[in-house]
Structures are given as structure tokens and as C-alpha cells.
């Protein structure tokens, strides 16, 4: 079958099991072949091929509402809903999004890139459905890793309490991005090993009905015994205690098992859990045998061997620079404890964990808990390092304010993937953290220009005992500079002049320093002298240097790979206003007031005007001509 020509999942309605199995194999080969060129979330999608086909066969989208938690496992859904012909553009600039996207298709009814949101959204949709007297099914598909998120548990509690007809598809592959942790994961493991509870309960009911009733008592006792079977067959039966009818465990790669249980669920009133067992990476050996889940999200690779296609020599990843410096510091400072919300691999903490297994805590997909856990550690004199992606720190914002900053606790925030992240797009762009952290009292925010400065900032953060401090660092590889053997502290709030100049000044940091220096060099060739400052602390500002620069009465251009509203440039404008300097001499460049979609970082820079050429253009507009200066 030409998968690029499928325009609607209705073709599945007439397919038999053999045809579905053949289509599933074609789907897998399609994914393996296409993602070898584009990269993407391979393991998760290979694991849900049969499940997605079965859901679309039993239910009718978009009349029935199908929600994908996190959304990185929606590729088969996209092919079935008419987007197979766009897979060569997957995660590319202005191409097919790697997550559900409402403007792409009427079948994408919920956009997401973060975990644990689908059940709350499904409950909202169920309430709306019932208020409008409609009758469609609502089916959130959530992984066992995402189910550890507090928001998912809050929604389960509410759905069960209200007895709403929501069919939760629990896709249990024993993994999220890395191996799952937590007591709930253990409970699911016991359910997996317990066999099919509902079928056992139904068989028992049939058997008991064959026993002649004696005075009615046996019949009543039999009913009670039937209902209590869950305590023997499935220890705890967590979901049924919450008010859900439980089906499973179901073999997620067996169409007969899937279709039988989904049809049971379709006929069941009220809250339902269908517990489906799948294998991440199913059908592609390198991904199937991936115990460290390096096939969760991949770049291009060689299909035959599974070898990743990467530059032969590249500087270390920013995450590695930070984590290795932390490991070095931990050897001489017993206070250091690393905490991460399910991102040991992404934040490159594996080696730290190997050397200090009792000082690394993966709390699962629970950013709020991770933040307050770190606060608790800090109250006891420890030095917690919370390694967390910028986009996920958003989920722990109340805890940053209420639990960490308000108590002025010594928590180090290692903010990974700060700035534009490229292919993962708008749900993952790490461009908001400066704005939402800058307004928080007691918070220090920094970002290194290269790996050498990064190691000194980590050392500075470990030695800093006056409250919380954040180190931002981008996705990808560092600059490839030599690093110092001896570490030293950098004075909090201090900036450095990278290039002096008298006609104007660029204040910038991190990823945009290189373009600022190049722009300054080109302007120098035209006789325009520009000062470039590494503003490595976004908070506090280097007030002393700002006074010196603004007293020169020359134009100031701020450049940041972050949102302009409330960002670093705004803080410079605030400083000028408070100190009586002319704000008309200040201009800001950064991310505009809109969500930035997917594409390579250079393409996104071009789209939003964050380029060397735009820096030159802005400075030329701001700097008076020689005649005006004369």
C-alpha cells in the first residue's frame, strides 16, 4: 500500500486481522526509512503501531476524540489521517510537526509536547460533551511514565469521582524517555504479572451462577466474592479503587487482543482503563535492544546498522560540560546532590550516577516534586543541583517562587536546552525562563559564553551560599575552546568586555556572542567602533559597567535568544529609566511575542531577525553619521 496516499483512517474499518498485520509491517518500514533521513521519535512510534491502528479501527476520528499524551508517539496517527506524503519534511522548517498540531488536521484535537496533560484535557472535553448532550467517545492515550506526573493523578481522581465516560488507554512500555521510577511503576508491574483480571472475574461469575442458590445466601456471597477477586488477582487494583473499569493487561502487538478489549471498553459506561503492554522500538532491532533508550529521539542514522550519523569530531555537548564539572565538584564537596525529572540521559548525568549512585535522584516526570525536593535538601545544608530543561522548568514555577526563592535556599538550577531548540518546536523552545525567573526575588541567573566559562560558573554556583542560582546552557555542542585546569569563582553580577569600542555597544550572552563579535568586526571595517560585552549574568546586572557605558551616551543594543517581554533587554531599559539615562539610545533584539515553531536554529534566527546582518542594520540606524557626530 502507498502510505503517502492514505487520506482517512476509515479504510481500516473493512480490514481483517491479516490485513492489519501487513499494514502494521508496512508502517514500521515506512517509519524506519523516513526517520533515518529526518530523525525524530522513532522508538515510541514503533511501539504503538498496532495500538494506533486498532484505535482507529474501533473508533471513528475525529467524531471520537483521540488525545496523545506528550504527542511524540503520534506519527502513525498522522499517516492514517492524510499526512504520510509530508514525512520527508518532518520536524523541518515549515514542515510536518513532530507533535500533534491542530492546524495540521481536524484529527489533532489536542496539542501537546509536555507529558501528563491529556487526562485533564479529556475530562474537560467529557464535561463539554455531556453538557451538549453528545455521545462520542473520548480516548486519551497516556504512557506509564506520564502517569507518574501529579497532574495525571489529579485528573484520574476527578474522572473517577465524576464517573465520566472517558476511556484511558494506558500505553505501558515500562519506559518514558528513560526507565521509569516510582511506586506507581511498581504497581503497574504487579498488574502486568497478574494476568487478565476482568476475564478471570467474568469466568468466575459464570462458574458461580452454575451453583444452585441455597436460601439466597450463596448468591449474595458469590457476588461479593466475584467483586473481591481483584484483591487476589491484581494486588491493590489502584484504578478500580479510583472508580475505573479495568481491562488488561492487553498485548499491544496482538490485534485480536487489542480489538476484543477495545470493543469491550467501547460498550462500557463510565471511566475505563485499557492497560496495553507495548514494546518501545518494536520491529527494529537496534531500537528494541536499546536499554538506555537512546532511540527515543534520534537524528539521522544508517538503517542497516543503526549507526547514528554525526560529525566525526565535535566539541562536547553543553550538558556534558556541565555534568562533568558537577561530578568533579562532587568529589570534594559531599553536599552536592543531583536531581532530575526523568532526564538522566538528556542531561548527561549517567557518569555522575555511576560514581555517586546515592547522590543522584531521578524523580520521574514530576518537575514540581523535583523542585521542592531540592528545596528540602537545601534546608538541611545540602547543595542540590536540579538538572532540568528550560521548557520543563515552567511546570515547577510555583515551587521555584514559593519553596525555593521565598526561603532563599541554596538550590542550583541547571537549565538545559535554554534558548531555541530547533526541531522539537514551540512546546520545547527554552525562551521564557529569563522572563519568568527575573521577576523572582533572590534569584541569580547566568549563562556562559563557552565551556571554559561554564565550568567556572558551575564552580561559582557550588560556592555561592546566598540563595538560588541558575545556569542556563543551550542544546547541542559547546564551542570547542580549551579549558582551564584550575577552577575559580566569577563575581556574581560581573560582566566582561570582549571587544572595546567607542561608537556603540552590544550587550549579549551565550549563543549570540559569536554573531555579535562578527557584526562588530564587519562594522569595524566600515570605520564604526562597537564594544561587545559578555553580559553573563542576566540578574543581577553589572550596574557598575552599565553606568560606565551609559555615561558615554552611545547607543546600546541588547541581543538575546529569549523572549523580549520581561527579558534581559527589558532589565537594561528599566535600569536606564531608574538611573535617568536616555532610553531612546537603547534597542532590543530577541524573540518576538509569539510562539516559535520548529526548524533548525539558524532558520529560526533568520525568521525572527536574530542575525548578524540585523545587528549591523540596527546599529547603523542608531549610530549618528560622522557629520552628525561632528
The answer to the question of whether 284 is labelled as a binding residue is: yes
The yes-or-no answer on residue 302 being catalytic is no
The answer to the question of whether 115 is labelled as a binding residue is: yes
Q: What is the dihedral of CA 373, 375, 377, 381, to 10 degrees?
A: 180
The catalytically annotated residue of 78, 280, 438, 536 is: 280
- Is residue 146 a contact partner of residue 121, using CB atoms and an 8 Å limit? no
Give 140's strand partners: 67
Cis peptide before 540 (omega within 30 of 0): yes
Terminus-to-terminus CA distance in the chain, angstroms?
75
Where do we find the cell 529521539?
A: 297
Strand segments, DSSP code E, in 12-110 are: 65-68
The answer to the question of whether 95 is labelled as a binding residue is: no
The answer to the question of whether 145 is labelled as a binding residue is: yes
C-alpha cell at 198: 476482568
Where do we find the cell 518576538?
A: 592
The answer to the question of whether 173 is labelled as a binding residue is: yes
Q: Which helix (H) or strand (E) holds 620?
A: helix 612-622
Where do we find the cell 556534558?
A: 320
Question: Where are the alpha helices (H) located in 344-468, listed in sequence order?
Answer: 350-355, 367-379, 390-393, 397-399, 433-438, 451-463
The candidate with the shortest Cα–Cα distance to 127, out of 155, 106, 101, is 155
- Is residue 385 a contact partner of residue 422, using CB atoms and an 8 Å limit? no
The yes-or-no answer on residue 190 being catalytic is no
The catalytically annotated residue of 367, 451, 453, 560 is: 367
CA gap 412, 381 in Å, rounded: 13
The answer to the question of whether 157 is labelled as a binding residue is: no
- Is residue 417 a contact partner of residue 430, using CB atoms and an 8 Å limit? yes
Residues 6+ apart with CB under 8 A from 425: 91, 97, 98, 99, 113, 596, 597, 598, 599
The yes-or-no answer on residue 223 being catalytic is no
CA gap 409, 186 in Å, rounded: 33
CA gap 56, 74 in Å, rounded: 12
The answer to the question of whether 114 is labelled as a binding residue is: yes
The answer to the question of whether 56 is labelled as a binding residue is: no
Give 168's strand partners: 273
Question: Where are the alpha helices (H) located in 195-303, listed in sequence order?
Answer: 197-209, 217-228, 230-233, 238-241, 255-267, 285-288
The answer to the question of whether 369 is labelled as a binding residue is: no
- Is residue 91 a contact partner of residue 597, using CB atoms and an 8 Å limit? no
Angle at 429 between CA 515 and CA 590, to 5 degrees: 40
Pairing of strands 469-472, 444-446: parallel
Residues 6+ apart with CB under 8 A from 284: 28, 32, 42, 46, 295, 306
CA gap 167, 611 in Å, rounded: 48
The catalytically annotated residue of 78, 395, 475, 588 is: 395
- Is residue 42 a contact partner of residue 20, using CB atoms and an 8 Å limit? no
Number of Cβ within a 10 Å radius of residue 525: 7
The answer to the question of whether 428 is labelled as a binding residue is: no
The binding site for Mg(2+) comprises 144, 173
The binding site for thiamine diphosphate comprises 72, 113-115, 145-146, 173, 284, 367
The binding site comprises 72, 113-115, 144-146, 173, 284, 367
Residues annotated as catalytic (active site), given as ranges: 280, 367, 395
Amino acid at each position: 500500500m502507498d502510505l503517502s496516499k492514505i487520506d482517512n483512517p476509515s479504510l481500516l474499518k473493512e480490514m481483517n486481522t491479516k490485513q492489519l498485520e501487513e499494514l502494521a509491517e508496512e508502517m514500521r518500514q515506512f517509519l524506519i526509512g523516513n526517520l533515518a533521513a529526518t530523525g525524530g521519535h522513532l522508538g515510541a512510534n514503533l511501539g504503538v503501531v498496532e495500538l494506533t491502528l486498532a484505535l482507529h479501527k474501533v473508533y471513528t476520528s475525529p467524531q471520537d476524540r483521540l488525545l496523545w499524551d506528550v504527542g511524540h508517539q503520534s506519527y502513525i496517527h498522522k499517516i492514517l489521517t492524510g499526512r504520510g506524503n509530508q514525512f520527508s519534511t518532518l520536524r523541518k522548517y515549515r514542515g510536518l510537526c513532530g507533535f500533534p498540531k491542530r492546524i495540521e488536521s481536524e484529527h489533532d484535537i489536542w496539542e501537546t509536547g509536555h507529558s501528563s496533560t491529556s487526562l485533564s484535557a479529556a475530562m474537560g472535553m467529557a464535561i463539554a460533551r455531556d453538557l451538549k448532550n453528545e455521545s462520542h467517545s473520548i480516548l486519551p492515550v497516556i504512557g506509564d511514565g506520564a502517569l507518574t506526573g501529579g497532574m495525571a493523578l489529579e485528573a484520574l481522581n476527578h474522572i473517577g469521582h465524576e464517573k465520566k465516560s472517558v476511556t484511558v488507554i494506558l500505553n505501558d512500555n515500562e519506559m518514558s524517555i528513560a526507565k521509569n521510577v516510582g511506586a506507581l511503576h511498581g504497581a503497574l508491574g504487579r498488574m502486568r504479572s497478574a494476568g487478565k483480571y476482568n476475564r478471570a472475574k467474568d469466568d468466575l461469575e459464570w462458574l458461580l451462577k452454575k451453583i444452585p442458590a441455597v436460601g439466597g445466601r450463596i448468591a449474595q456471597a458469590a457476588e461479593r466474592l466475584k467483586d473481591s477477586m481483584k484483591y487476589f488477582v491484581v494486588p491493590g487494583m489502584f484504578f478500580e479503587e479510583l472508580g475505573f473499569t479495568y481491562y488488561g493487561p492487553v498485548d499491544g502487538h496482538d490485534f485480536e487482543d487489542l480489538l476484543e478489549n477495545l470493543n469491550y471498553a467501547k460498550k462500557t459506561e463510565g471511566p475505563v482503563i485499557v492497560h496495553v503492554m507495548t514494546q518501545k522500538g518494536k520491529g527494529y532491532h537496534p531500537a528494541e535492544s536499546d536499554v538506555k533508550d537512546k532511540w527515543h529521539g534520534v537524528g539521522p542514522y544508517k538503517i542497516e546498522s543503526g549507526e547514528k550519523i554525526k560529525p566525526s569530531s565535535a566539541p562536547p555537548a553543553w550538558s556534558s560540560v556541565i555534568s562533568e564539572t558537577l561530578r568533579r565538584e562532587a568529589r570534594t564537596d559531599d553536599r552536592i546532590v543531583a536531581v532530575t525529572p526523568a532526564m538522566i540521559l538528556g542531561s548527561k548525568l549517567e557518569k555522575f550516577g555511576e560514581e555517586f549512585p546515592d547522590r543522584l535522584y531521578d524523580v520521574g516526570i514530576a518537575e514540581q516534586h523535583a523542585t521542592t525536593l531540592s528545596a528540602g535538601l537545601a534546608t538541611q545544608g545540602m547543595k542540590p543541583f536540579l538538572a532540568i530543561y528550560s521548557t520543563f522548568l515552567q511546570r515547577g514555577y510555583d515551587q521555584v517562587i514559593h519553596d525555593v526563592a521565598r526561603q532563599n535556599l541554596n538550590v542550583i538550577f541547571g537549565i538545559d536546552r535554554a534558548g531555541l531548540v530547533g526541531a522539537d518546536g514551540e512546546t520545547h523552545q527554552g525562551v521564557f525562563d529569563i522572563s519568568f525567573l527575573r521577576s523572582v526575588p533572590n534569584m541569580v541567573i547566568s549563562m556562559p559564553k563557552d565551556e571554559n566559562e561554564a565550568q567556572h560558573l558551575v564552580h561559582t554556583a557550588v560556592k555561592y551560599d546566598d540563595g538560588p542560582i541558575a545556569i542556563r546552557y543551550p542544546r547541542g555542542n559547546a564551542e570547542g575552546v580549551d579549558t582551564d585546569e584550575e577552577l575559580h569563582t566569577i563575581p556574581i553580577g560581573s560582566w566582561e568586555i570582549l571587544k572595546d569600542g567607542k561608537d556603540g555597544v552590544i550587550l549579549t550572552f551565550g549563543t549570540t556572542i559569536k554573531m555579535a563579535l562578527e557584526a562588530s568586526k564587519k562594522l569595524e571595517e566600515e570605520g564604526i567602533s562597537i564594544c561587545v560585552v559578555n553580559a553573563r549574568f542576566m540578574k543581577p546586572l553589572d550596574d557598575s559597567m552599565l553606568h560606565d557605558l551609559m555615561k558615554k551616551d552611545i547607543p546600546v543594543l541588547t541581543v538575546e535568544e529569549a523572549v523580549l517581554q520581561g527579558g534581559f533587554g527589558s532589565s537594561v531599559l528599566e535600569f536606564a529609566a531608574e538611573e535617568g539615562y536616555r532610553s531612546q539610545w537603547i534597542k532590543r533584539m530577541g524573540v518576538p511575542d509569539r510562539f516559535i515553531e520548529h526548524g533548525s536554529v539558524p532558520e529560526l534566527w533568520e525568521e525572527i531577525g536574530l542575525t548578524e546582518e540585523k545587528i549591523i542594520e540596527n546599529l547603523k540606524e542608531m549610530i549618528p553619521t560622522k557629520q552628525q557626530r561632528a
